[in-house]
Structure formats: C-alpha cells, structure tokens
Amino acid sequence: MKILVTGGAGYIGSHTLILLIESGYEVVVFDNFCNASKESIKRVEKLVHQSIEVIEGDIRSRANLQEVFDKHKIDAVIHFAGLKAVGESVAQPLKYYDNNVNGTAVLCEVMAKNNCKTIIFSSSATVYGDPATTPILEDFPLSATNPYGRSKLMVEEILRDLYVSDNEWRVVLLRYFNPVGAHESGTIGEDPNGIPNNLMPFIAQTAVGKREILSVFGDDYETIDGTGVRDYIHVVDLAQGHVNALDRVVNFKEPMTINLGTGQGYSVLEMIQSFEKASGKKVPYQIAPRRAGDIATCFADPTYAKEVLGWEAKKGIDEMCADSWRWQSNNPNGYRGLI
C-alpha cells in the first residue's frame, strides 16, 4: 500500500515515516517545508536504509497535489500538514483557516477526484477546551478557545460531512495529547522555530544552555503541586497509533474519533524533575503568571484506542525525557547547524 504523508518532514510526520516503512508501507512525502527541514528526511532515509520520495508542494494548491496523484497510485493519506502555533493563530487567524481548513478541503477534493478516499487526520486534545472532568473521553463536549483549536474542530466536521456525502470515505480523527520525545537514535526530533512555545522543547533547550531559565506558567492551579498537568505521549508511540489506524482502516465503516494519550498526567514540576534525572543537568526555573488560555489539567482516557486500534502507549516519562535529551544534546541547534 502506498501512503501519502502530508507534513511528513515535520516532527510527528518524520517519526511516523520510519514506522510506516518498517511495517511494509510505501510512503510519499508531501511538504512545503514552511516548518521543517529537508535534513529531517535525510536522517529518516539513513535510519530506514532507503530513499524516500518527497514532493515539495502546498496542500492549498490543487496543481501541486495533482502532481502527486499523477505520479503515484495513492491508497491512503496521513494528513499532518498544518500550522500549530496557538499564539500565532490568535494574531493571524486567516492564515490558520486558510492553511489548516482550506488546505484540508483542497486535499480532500483532489483525493476524491483521484478516487483516494481514506484519510487519517491529526486532530488535538485542544478540541475538548477546558474539560469539566478528567480523564477525557471521546464523547466529551467540544469547544475551542483559539483559531488553531477551531481549525481542528472545523476539519473534524468537514471530514464527517464528507463521509455523510459519500460513505466510501474512510476517516480516522486522531486526537493527540502532548507529543514529546524523539527517536531513540537521537538523530530526529522536534526542532521548533525560535523560542519554543511548548514545555518539553523549552526544558530541553534550557538544560543544554540555549535558554537561561524556564518560566513555569502558574503554580496556583488545583493540581498536585499547583502547576499544569498534561498527558505527555512519546512521539514514537504516537506514530505507532497511525500505523495501527492504517492497518485497520478498511474495517472502519464510519468516521472514527480516537484519543491518543497515555492516560497519565504529569505536572510541570514533575516534568522538570524527570528531565533533570534523565539528563543529569539542572533546569533552572522561575514561577511566572499563568499563561492566557491555559487549563489546569488535561489527560486522556485511552481505552477506546486500545479497543479499536489495539494500541496503547508503551514508553513512560523517563524514556520521553531521555530521548528528548539525546536529540537535544546531539543537535543543540536542531537541524539548522547542518544545512
């Protein structure tokens, strides 16, 4: 089976390529490299000992996408391509609706035209807004507090509508919790542009000496130690969730919406502590005010993923921190130092 991986040069996409290839799938990467480096693909090629077909293009371009389908008989699409910075989405909402929502609509249009009707979509736990209780089940109420989150909700609705219009579509909506970690080789990992928004890359860059001090956003939440609690999931476990979804997708007779999380929440202070243990480095931090829009606690009930995908997260917090550290310490400037 040949799989088109949009956004395949990015953080989650690059890790997923490895597991897809190891599972016997053929892959074609489609990426415009707006938030990725070609070096990530080169590193994946080294890990899997084969070359990877990459087509540079934008999901908003029918012509760019048609080029892929003219060249390849694609059986299914894993759709990672999208913008993901919450703050930027507040400042530039149209950019997010154009890229994430319009881009997905164009992708689906070109897929249908070429009779490819299987899509696995990267959704997010952000669609649960501020949940009334945890752990979070898939049927919890949905809401969004920023344009990024709304773009994910909109795409979920679009893909469900598409199935209603034509039930040959096979749709899997994977709601990721907090992806962290890196491939155990330490050669691929998360490479954020500029100052990281997310906790784990900020911790890693502080430990390696690139940032002076980590700001802990709030210590007065109703949590174990007052700091925010999240469900961190190793990116390789997350990648495996996509392979399992692909393996089973022909059997899914209706759109599937599935949480990918560990079911375990950790606080910011617990993450710092685990990272210090894994790296042997001090992570200096200061308590700062709460970050606007943050919630206290978010973690998944991953039971459904186990039931329908036969999937559960295997890697714990120590492995997440050790692998993040290996990537960060081997590549203090991410992919940039080497291009």
Site residues (CB under 6 A) for ligand NAD? Answer: 6-7, 9-13, 31-36, 58-60, 80-84, 99, 103, 122, 124, 176, 179
Q: How far is CA 229 from the centre of its chain?
A: 18
Active site residues: 148
Which option in ligand NAD, ligand UDP, none does residue 119 bind, with CB closer than 5 to 8 A by kind? none
- CA distances from residue 238 to 16, 42, 68, 206, 224 in whole angstroms, order as listed: 8, 21, 26, 25, 26
Stretch binding ligand UDP (CB under 6 A), from 15-23, 26-34, 162-170, 192-200: 192-200
Run of H or E including 204: helix 199-207
Which option in ligand NAD, ligand UDP, none does residue 300 bind, with CB closer than 5 to 8 A by kind? none
Q: Which residue is nearest to ligand NAD (CB)?
A: 10
Q: Phi-psi bin for 260: left (phi > 0), alpha (psi -120 to 50), beta?
A: beta
Task: Please state the closest distance from residue 195 (CB atom) to ligand UDP, in A.
Answer: 9
For residue 79, state whether it binds ligand UDP (rule: CB under 6 A): no
Taking the least distance from each CB to ligand UDP, the nearer of 246 and 300 is 300
Taking the least distance from each CB to ligand NAD, the nearer of 237 and 281 is 237
Q: What's the rounded Cα separation, in Å, for the pair 259 and 298? A: 12
Q: What's the rounded Cα separation, in Å, for the pair 104 and 161? A: 13
For residue 266, state whether it binds ligand UDP (rule: CB under 6 A): no
Taking the least distance from each CB to ligand UDP, the nearer of 42 and 291 is 291
| 288, 220 contact by CB (below 8 A) | no
List 32, 178, 244, 257, residue binding ligand UDP (CB under 6 A) = 178
Which option in ligand NAD, ligand UDP, none does residue 60 bind, with CB closer than 5 to 8 A by kind? ligand NAD
Which option in ligand UDP, ligand NAD, none does residue 59 bind, with CB closer than 5 to 8 A by kind? ligand NAD
Neighbours of 251 (CB within 10 A): 9
Q: What's the rounded Cα separation, in Å, for the pair 322 and 57? A: 34
Q: What's the rounded Cα separation, in Å, for the pair 262 and 118? A: 26
Which option in ligand NAD, ligand UDP, none does residue 197 bind, with CB closer than 5 to 8 A by kind? ligand UDP
Taking the least distance from each CB to ligand UDP, the nearer of 122 and 178 is 178
Quick one: which of 254, 236, 255, 256 has its CA closest to 309? 256
Quick one: which of 125, 327, 305 has its CA closest to 231? 125
For residue 273, state whether it binds ligand UDP (rule: CB under 6 A): no
Which option in ligand NAD, ligand UDP, none does residue 202 bind, with CB closer than 5 to 8 A by kind? ligand UDP
Taking the least distance from each CB to ligand UDP, the nearer of 67 and 294 is 294
Amino acid at 256: M
Q: What's the rounded Cα separation, in Å, for the pair 149 and 152? A: 5
Q: At 48, list the tokens.
A: 């899997």
Q: Which of residues 205-264 bind ligand UDP (CB under 6 A)?
A: 214-217, 228, 230
Which option in ligand UDP, ligand NAD, none does residue 217 bind, with CB closer than 5 to 8 A by kind? ligand UDP
Burial degree of 257 (CB within 10 A; 0-12, 13-18, 19+): buried
**Cβ within 8 Å of residue 34, ≥6 positions away:** 83
Task: Please state the closest distance from residue 280 (CB atom) to ligand NAD, in A.
Answer: 26
Quickly tell me which residue has 């174990």 as its tokens: 224
| 296, 229 contact by CB (below 8 A) | yes
Q: What's the rounded Cα separation, in Å, for the pair 197 and 205? A: 12
For residue 272, state whether it binds ligand UDP (rule: CB under 6 A): no
Taking the least distance from each CB to ligand UDP, the nearer of 25 and 128 is 128
Taking the least distance from each CB to ligand NAD, the nearer of 15 and 326 is 15
For residue 197, state whether it binds ligand UDP (rule: CB under 6 A): yes
Residues that bind ligand UDP (CB under 6 A): 178, 197-199, 202, 214-217, 228, 230, 268, 291, 294
